[in-house]
């Protein structure tokens, strides 16, 4: 993608540039350390409890960053631990208003999938994540050309 800017009697060729602000390290193991962020990424910010519409059809609910919470399947009050196999991403409504420190069975909730320990993907070593901003020309260039090429391969 190249932009051609015409000024009074002069031409300038402008090429969008993305600046690398951080270089990560290459992890030695496939294990991922437990954290809230790791849970949210594993669950892709989807509430892990089924939601139902007015016709009783179940659907997945994607949480916004402000409404997502870390939920313990077996609550801490009942001996639950902070671990990948006991924690899921949950919307604030399910966690605080419905579950209220009970197990999903006690609260009448159904898990979408059983929690699991995530492993690193080989692509994670190369791929980097950044906050996409459609107002930045370099980000639009990256999304249009680089990500499109990754999806094809």
pTM: 0.63
Tokens (6 digits) for 119: 């492993």
pLDDT digits (tens, 9 = 90+) for 57-75: 999 999 999 999 999 999 9
pLDDT at 126: 47
pLDDT digits (tens, 9 = 90+) for 80-127: 999 999 999 999 999 999 999 999 999 999 999 999 999 887 655 544
93, 87, 90: which is closest to 114 by C-alpha?
87
Residue 140, pLDDT > 60, answer yes
Show the domains of the chain with their CATH numbers. Answer: 32-120 (1.10.30)
Geometric angle at alpha carbon 59, from 58 and 60, rounded to 5°? 140
pLDDT digits (tens, 9 = 90+) for 1-20: 566 555 555 555 566 666 66
pLDDT at 51: 94
Long-range CB pairs of 99-106, under 8 A, 24+ apart, other chains included: 99/49, 99/71, 101/75, 101/77, 102/75, 103/73, 103/74, 103/75, 103/78, 104/49, 104/73
């Amino acid at each position: 993608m190249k932009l051609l800017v015409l000024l009074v009697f002069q031409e300038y060729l402008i090429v969008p540039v993305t600046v690398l602000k951080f270089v990560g390290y290459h992890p030695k193991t496939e294990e991922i350390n437990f954290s809230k962020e790791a849970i949210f990424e594993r669950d892709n910010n989807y509430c892990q409890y089924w939601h139902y519409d007015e016709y009783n059809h179940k659907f997945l609910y994607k949480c916004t960053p402000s409404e997502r919470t870390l939920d313990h399947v077996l609550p801490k009050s009942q001996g639950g631990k902070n671990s990948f196999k006991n924690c899921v991403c949950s919307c604030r409504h399910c966690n605080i208003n419905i579950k209220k420190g009970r197990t999903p069975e006690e609260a009448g909730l159904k898990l979408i999938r059983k929690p699991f320990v995530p492993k690193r993907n080989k692509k994670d070593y190369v791929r980097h994540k950044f906050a996409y901003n459609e107002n930045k020309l370099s980000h639009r260039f990256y999304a249009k050309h680089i990500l499109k090429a990754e999806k094809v391969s």
